[in-house]
Amino acid sequence: MAIYAMTGGATGIGGELRQQLTGAGHQVISVDIKEGDVIADLSTAEGRKAAVDGVRERAPDGLDGLIACAGLPPVARPLSLIAQVNYFAVVAVVEGLKDLVAQRRGTVLIVSSNSAPMIPADDAYVQACLSGDEAAACALVEERDGHVAYAGSKRAVATWMRRNTVPYAKAGVRLNAVAPGITQTPLTDQVFADEQLGQTMRDFQASVPWGGMASPAHIANVMRFMLSEEASFICGAMFFVDGGSDAMLRPDHF
């Protein structure tokens, strides 16, 4: 039996993964703003500290895996909340629990998005995230729109994963990210319901090469594999699970 900690385990992709892992007999410490073992608002410094302390208290002998899944959609407001939850909370929780994962030569899996490559790497907001300047990133993002706020946060978190793959591996932690495409969850429902982004989302869904929309299980199945011993040589991967959308948009990049 393995012991995992995860953020965003209440609903959607995280809820499905939590159920799959506990159904397989593993222990899961779930951190979420809605419901879970540790209730914490990851948009705040206090919430991130409560998350790290709460997991440490429940897993004194280390973690086999840590999954950073909590995230807000492009329709969340203020836009700075998206940067805070989707980027800064991920880095704070992963860094805060790294030693517990290293204790068991475990793995960290970050949930990015197939929207990440839609924002250029040199975008000022992405760069502010990567420099660790939360105040600057939050100020910059307020001048942008929901798509940039969301996809930029996912670009930043995927880049952070790649930049930290080597030091994490040397410390005994396998670091990876999953990049889901459009998936039927409460987050997606909010975007579909939005006056501005709803139609863009419907058009994007219609363009998915494999057709349709992922279920949370499509994504969680791959995440469960990436966390498992069978995947123990996967390190530094940005694993697209998106019905072929990224290959359609960027055929020459991989």
Contact 89, 212 (CB under 8 A): no
Contact 175, 166 (CB under 8 A): no
Alpha-carbon gap, residue 31 to 36, rounded angstroms = 6
Query: Mind giving me the DSSP string for 182-225?
Result: SB-SHHHHHHHT-TTHHHHHHHHHHT-TT-S-B-HHHHHHHHHH
Minimum CB separation of residue 8 from ligand NAD in Å reads: 3
Q: How many CB atoms within 10 Å of residue 87?
A: 27
Taking CB under 6 A as the binding criterion, the range among 12-20, 58-66, 133-141, 161-169 that sits at the site for ligand NAD is 12-20
Q: Residue 29 burial by CB count (10 A; 0-12/13-18/19+): exposed, middle or buried?
A: buried
**Applying CB under 6 A, does 245 fall inside the site for ligand NAD?**
no
Q: Could you give phi then psi for residue 65, rounded to 5 degrees? A: -160, 150
| Least spacing, CB of residue 170 vs ligand NAD, in Å | 27
Q: Which of 52, 59, 67, 182 touches ligand NAD (CB under 6 A)?
A: 182
The CA distance from 36 to 6, in Å, is 10
Is 4 a known active-site residue?
Answer: no
Stretches 40-48, 158-166, 167-175, 221-229: which one binds ligand NAD (CB under 6 A)?
Answer: 40-48
Per CB under 6 A, 111 contacts ligand NAD: yes
Q: Where does this chain touch ligand NAD (CB under 6 A) — which range of 134-142, 161-169, 177-185, 223-231?
A: 177-185
Kindly identify the residues of this chain, within the stretch 15-34, that bind ligand NAD according to CB under 6 A. 32-34
- Pick one of 3, 12, 117, 173: the residue that binds ligand NAD (CB under 6 A): 12
- Report the interface residues with ligand NAD, using CB under 6 A: 7-8, 10-14, 32-34, 40-43, 69-72, 85, 111, 113, 180, 182-183, 185-188
